[in-house]
Amino acid sequence: MIRTVQVTRYVTPLREGGSLPAIAEADDGFLYALKFRGAGQGSKALIAELLGGEIARILGLRVPEIVFAELDEAFGRTEPDEEIQDLLRASTGLNLALHYLSGAITFDPVINKLDEGLASRIVWLDCLLTNVDRTVRNTNMLMWHKELWLIDHGASLYFHHSWDNWQEQAVKPFIQVKDHVLLPWATQLDKADDELKSKLTDPVIRTIVELIPDAWLGTQEGIPPSEAREVYARFLEMRITASGVFVKEAQDARKGIV
């Protein structure tokens, strides 16, 4: 189950950019990296974050705890920055947040050495999720207490920005893997494929997909929430079944850079 917290204090923006995620405090006393449904790609980015993060967790990869974050309509009234105030107003209701890893540093492939098995599992995950945002420029990985943690899966599952051809997208190779920061170390993709797809059974996928709140699905091109969940589940199930397609693409891309 995903916990729900009430946001009590906006602390500071995390970085520049259209989505304007922020560090915020909740009523349980912890700090979170808060992602707003009123920003950027809206609820679709939150859905991708939720599904990507929980799938990664099932696969044994480290992801900060994901929580639902309730934002009261009065929360942003005292915020002096008009852009942030507009963002908070547009995000009233249910948002998503990840436990803030205080003191974590950005993964640097030059400095931080990574086990080839772990690198292969992460590359496999990102090919499954069609995650375009794990590059040298923006690794979206943190080192915390000498362990690697995955963050920010909001740019995954880009099929849901156009629902017309999701079946076709489900079985396509992931050509953007050529830019993956860990691809040079992903020497065990066949082993990762055998290990990981066995963990992602249809019941597991559907349990994760059921976590998506109706409030986030209500904006999906007029598709009822139950039908939208079915599309997400079927997309992931089909992609897992056809994993050999994206594994081969990753292996071929790796041969071109090593």
Q: pLDDT (tens digit, 9 = 90+) per residue, 114-171?
A: 999 999 999 999 999 999 999 999 999 999 999 999 999 999 999 998 888 999 999 9
pLDDT at residue 19 above 80? no
At 18, is the pLDDT very low, low, confident or very high (cuts 50, 70, 90)? low
Residue burial 126-160, b: 16+ Cβ < 10 Å; e: rest: bbbbbbebbeeeebbbbbeeeebbbbbbbbbbbbb
How far is the C-alpha of 65 from the C-alpha of 153, rounded, in Å?
Answer: 13
Q: Which residues contact 30 (CB under 8 A, 6 or more apart)?
A: 5, 99, 100
Q: Which residue in 126, 174, 113 sits closest to 152, CA to CA?
A: 126
Confidence at 94, pLDDT banded by 50, 70, 90: very high
Q: Are 140 and 208 in contact (CB under 8 A)?
A: no
Q: Is the pLDDT assigned to residue 102 strictly greater than 90?
A: yes
Q: What's the whole-model pTM score? A: 0.94
Q: Sheet containing 141-144: give its strands across.
A: 105-106, 141-144, 147-150
| Distance between start and end Cα atoms, the chain | 42
pLDDT for 20 = 79
For residue 175, is pLDDT > 60?
yes
pLDDT at 15 over 90: no
